[in-house]
C-alpha cells in the first residue's frame, strides 16, 4: 500500500472483507479490542472510496456522501459523527489541529452485513493519513483503522487472507496477512436478500454476545477452528476450509439469536440460500456459506464453480440480486478525487 505522502488532499479506495472466523464480542470498547481472533478474506469489488481534504480557517469538519450520479449531499447525522470522531483522532495522532472536508462513496449496499463499515473506515483512515501527508506502515494503519470503532477495519488494511489476533498487547492489535490474494483465487458470490441497513448494529451485537449461553462454549471451540482455517488457507484446501467457516457463521448467529434480548439477522431468504448451497453440494459443487451481521449470504467457491453458483442463487425468489466478488488487494491511493 502506498500510504499517503501527497498531503492536502487524498483519495483512498479500500475493500470490504468477509470473515471466515468471526469477531463477535468486544473486550475493550475504547480500544476496540476483540475477545477472539478472527480471520477474513479481503474482497476485490465491494469497495469504498473516500476523499479527505484539509480545510483552511476555522471551518468545522464536513462529511458528505457521493451518490451514484456523482452528486454530493451531507451525510446522515450518525455516520457523520463517527467520521468526525475518526478525523479528530487521526489529527490528534498526527499532532495537527486541522479540520477536513470528507466525501465517501460505497460501490455496494451499506450496513447490510457486507462489512461496509470496514471498507469505509479503512478508506477514510488511509485518505486522512494521506491528506495529512504522513507515511505509515500497514500495521500502524491497521491500528489506526481499528480505532475508528469498526474493529474489522483492522483486516481491510491488508489484501488477501488476514488474521486479526486478539492480544496480548492492548494497543498493538492489528491485522496480519496470512497469504496474499494471488496465493488462492477464491470467489465470493454474495446473495443479496435484503440490501437495506440492518436494524441492530454490530456494536450492539458485540455487547450482547456474552449474554448468550452459547458464547462461552464458542470461546472453547474457537482455537481448534482457527487452526483449521489457518491450515486450510496454507494448503488452499476448500474442502477443509468450507465446513469450518459455515460452522463459524452459524455459530455467530446462534449466539446472536440466543443473546438477551435476541438478535435475528437472518430472514427467510437467508435460509433459502443456505438450502440452495446444500443442494449444490449434493450435486458435487464445492460451495460453502458464511454470513456476517445481516441477512445476506456469501457463497465461497472456486473460479470454476462461480458461474453455476451465481446462476443457481440468482433464480431464488428471495434473492434480489447477486454480487460476484472474490479475493482482492490492499487499499490504494487514487488519482481521481470525489470532489
Interaction site with ligand PMV (CB under 6 A): 19, 22-23, 38, 115, 117-118, 150-152, 202-203, 292-293
Contact in structure between 134 and 7 (CB atoms under 8 Å): no
Query: Of 125 and 150, which has the nearer Cβ to ligand PMV?
Result: 150
Cβ distance to ligand PMV smaller for residue 40 or 61: 40
What angle in degrees, to the nearest 10, is found between the helix axes of 268-282 and 306-314?
A: 140
User: Measured from the CB of residue 84, what is the shortest distance to ligand PMV in angstroms?
Assistant: 18
What is the Cα–Cα distance from 144 to 3, expressed in whole angstroms?
Answer: 12
> Considering the complex, what minimum distance in angstroms separates the CB of residue 297 from ligand PMV?
13
Q: How far is the CB of 158 from ligand PMV (least distance, A)?
A: 14
Question: CA-CA distances (angstroms) from residue 174 to 31, 81, 127, 132?
Answer: 12, 24, 18, 21
Q: How far is the CB of 96 from ligand PMV (least distance, A)?
A: 27
> H or E segment at 44?
strand 38-55
Cβ count near 169 (within 10 Å): 9
Asked, as a colleague might, if the bond just before 261 is cis with ω within 30 of 0, I would say yes
- For residues 151 and 160, which CB has a smaller minimum distance to ligand PMV in the complex? 151
Cβ at position 149, least distance to ligand PMV in Å:
7
Closest CB to ligand PMV among residues 251, 292? 292
Q: Could you identify the residue written with the cell 462454549?
A: 217
Nearer to ligand PMV, 41 or 333 (CB): 41
Cell numbers representing residue 104 in the block: 465517501
Burial classification of residue 210, based on how many CB atoms lie within 10 Å of its CB (0-12 exposed, 13-18 middle, 19 or more buried): middle
Tell me how far, at minimum, the Cβ of 48 lies from ligand PMV, in Å: 13
**CB-wise, 23 or 184, nearer to ligand PMV?**
23
Amino acid at each position: 500500500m502506498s500510504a499517503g505522502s501527497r498531503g492536502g488532499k487524498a483519495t483512498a479506495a479500500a475493500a470490504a472483507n468477509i470473515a471466515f472466523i468471526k469477531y463477535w464480542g468486544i473486550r475493550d470498547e475504547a480500544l476496540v479490542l476483540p475477545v477472539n481472533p478472527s480471520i477474513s478474506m479481503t474482497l476485490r469489488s465491494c469497495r469504498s472510496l473516500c476523499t479527505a481534504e484539509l480545510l483552511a480557517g476555522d471551518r468545522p469538519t464536513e462529511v458528505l456522501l457521493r451518490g451514484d450520479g456523482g452528486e454530493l449531499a451531507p451525510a446522515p447525522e450518525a455516520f457523520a459523527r463517527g467520521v468526525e470522531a475518526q478525523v479528530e483522532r487521526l489529527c490528534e495522532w498526527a499532532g495537527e489541529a486541522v479540520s477536513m472536508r470528507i466525501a465517501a462513496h460505497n460501490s455496494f449496499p451499506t450496513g447490510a452485513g457486507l462489512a461496509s463499515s470496514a471498507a469505509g473506515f479503512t478508506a477514510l483512515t488511509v485518505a486522512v493519513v494521506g491528506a495529512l501527508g504522513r507515511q505509515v506502515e500497514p500495521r500502524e494503519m491497521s491500528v489506526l483503522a481499528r480505532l475508528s470503532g469498526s474493529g474489522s477495519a483492522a483486516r481491510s488494511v491488508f489484501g488477501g487472507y488476514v488474521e486479526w489476533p486478539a492480544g496480548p498487547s492492548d494497543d498493538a492489535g492489528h491485522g496480519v496477512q496470512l497469504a496474499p490474494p494471488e496465493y488462492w483465487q477464491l470467489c465470493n458470490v454474495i446473495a443479496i436478500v435484503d440490501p437495506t441497513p440492518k436494524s441492530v448494529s454490530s456494536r450492539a451485537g458485540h455487547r450482547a454476545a456474552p449474554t448468550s449461553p452459547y458464547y462461552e462454549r464458542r470461546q472453547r471451540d474457537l482455537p481448534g477452528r482457527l487452526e483449521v482455517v489457518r491450515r486450510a488457507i496454507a494448503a488452499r484446501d476448500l474442502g477443509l476450509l468450507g465446513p469450518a467457516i459455515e460452522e463459524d457463521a452459524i455459530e455467530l448467529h446462534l449466539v446472536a439469536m440466543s443473546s438477551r434480548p435476541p438478535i435475528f439477522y437472518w430472514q427467510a431468504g437467508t435460509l433459502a440460500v443456505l438450502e440452495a448451497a446444500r443442494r449444490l453440494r449434493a450435486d458435487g459443487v464445492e460451495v460453502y456459506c458464511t454470513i456476517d451481521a445481516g441477512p445476506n449470504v456469501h457463497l465461497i467457491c472456486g473460479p470454476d464453480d462461480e458461474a453455476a453458483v451465481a446462476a443457481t442463487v440468482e433464480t431464488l425468489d428471495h434473492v434480489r440480486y447477486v454480487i460476484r466478488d472474490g479475493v482482492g488487494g490492499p487499499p490504494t491511493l487514487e488519482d481521481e478525487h470525489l470532489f
